[in-house]
Amino acid sequence: MLLFRLLSSLVRHGRLCLIDARGGRHYYGTATDEEAPVTVRVTDPALHWKLGLHPGLYAGEAYMDGTLQMVEGSLYDFISLITRNAGLGHLSPTSAFVQRFGVGVQRFIQQRNPLDRSRRNVAHHYDLSRQFYDLFLDADRQYSCAYFPKPGLTLEQAQEAKKRHIASKLLLQPGCHVLDIGCGWGGMALTLAQMADVRVTGITLSKEQLAVARERAAAAGLDDRVNFELCDYRELPGRFDRIVSVGMFEHVGVPQYPLFFERVRDLLADDGVALLHSIGRMEGPGTTNPWIRKYIFPGGYSPALSEVTPAIEQAGLWLTDAEIWRLHYAETLRHWRERFLANREKAKALYDERFCRMWEFYLVGSECAFRHQGHLVFQLQMARQVDAVPLSRDYMIDAERQRPAGRKTRAA
């Protein structure tokens, strides 16, 4: 049977027991003293061929439907075992074929994000209840990778460190006007305004995020210096001294990269500085996991740097600094996963059991992608002029150490 052959070739390290829909037990891999064995049950006979043919889609759907069940070990134990064995490879021959021969066509279809589609994609994920996101995010509602410069930081401390780290790269000066592309619930914009005497304009396509961000600016007494608008980067007029974008670029799509960086160039002052923070991949161009694309981030894609830097060059921008974060997002997702599971009943009260299973699968799968499958975060600093930033990057370290963390801003 296809599923059994797939698991036999895939699982080499760790021990997996599969209970099939007829009650038969099948064992794969080798037991170790370090890891407890994992046992899963499938209750739908159709999963015998579905999971063997296209596990990237059907495993998540089966877990949502309750036809893929954890018997021994957790969902994290199961997905971690599978992804550790798969590594940067493919879960099935079908996935390998699609990756090899269908990348270009798929990306054009899946990642072509004109304005109307971008609005729908954003609403699908970010217009969920604000109470739901409060169940697992930090108090500032930072829904992007935190920064763990030393062990043992709390999620709140690591998210605060992320914001200070980004601010150190922006070379903020009194009177600067900062543009925050994809401002989320406003935490980055409010933090920058508190750290330095700057004005900030934040733009988002999420009506729910916009409402929360404006409420927070008013509550913090910053609505005279921080302005939030429902606007797309393709529509925005004006020029800005600084541009920052955190966790938005994953929604742009490869076909729009040239336009995105052209807009960054046109919106940036001649002596301005821009900072892009995005998820990426180390193994080269690929495609988005089909389950993630269908249920979590329609139109989304995490690019390889080789797909990003040509568009920066073509736009005539200087790439003045690049930094790669490897396991920081894995640790961020661990915190989110643990908090979500601790508040699972509250999430179920807001939505339902199937939604909770979907969200758990998303958080677990994403964490394992960063631990075992080559996902990373990159920060790219850009400028229009060669001398827009100092010759040595020591200024970043000095600014990060000297700049006070600022007042904590809680979500409204």
CA distance 399 to 397: 6
Q: Clarify whether 368 is annotated catalytic.
A: yes
Residue type for 272, please?
A: G
> How far apart are the C-alpha atoms of 368 and 27, rounded to whole Å?
22
In contact, 27 and 15? CB cutoff 8 Å: yes
Residues 6+ apart with CB under 8 A from 256: 111, 112, 113
- Quickly count helices (H) and strands (E) in the chain: 18, 11
Q: Hey, which bits of 231-293 come out as E strands?
A: 240-246, 268-281
Asked if residues 43 and 67 have their Cβ atoms less than 8 Å apart, the reply is yes
Measured in degrees and rounded to the nearest 5, phi and psi for residue 410 equal -90, 150
Q: Degrees (nearest 5) of the Cα angle 54, 58, 63?
A: 150
Report the C-alpha gap between 365 and 196 in whole angstroms.
38
Residue whose pair of structure tokens reads 């037990």 in the numeric block = 25
Do residues 256 and 373 make contact, with C-beta atoms less than 8 angstroms apart? no
Instruction: Mention every residue, 6+ apart, whose C-beta is less than 8 A from residue 231.
Output: 203, 204, 205
| Separation in Å, CA 8 to CA 5, 24, 91, 96 | 5, 15, 12, 17
Closest CA to 339 of 146, 184, 186: 146
Active site residues: 368
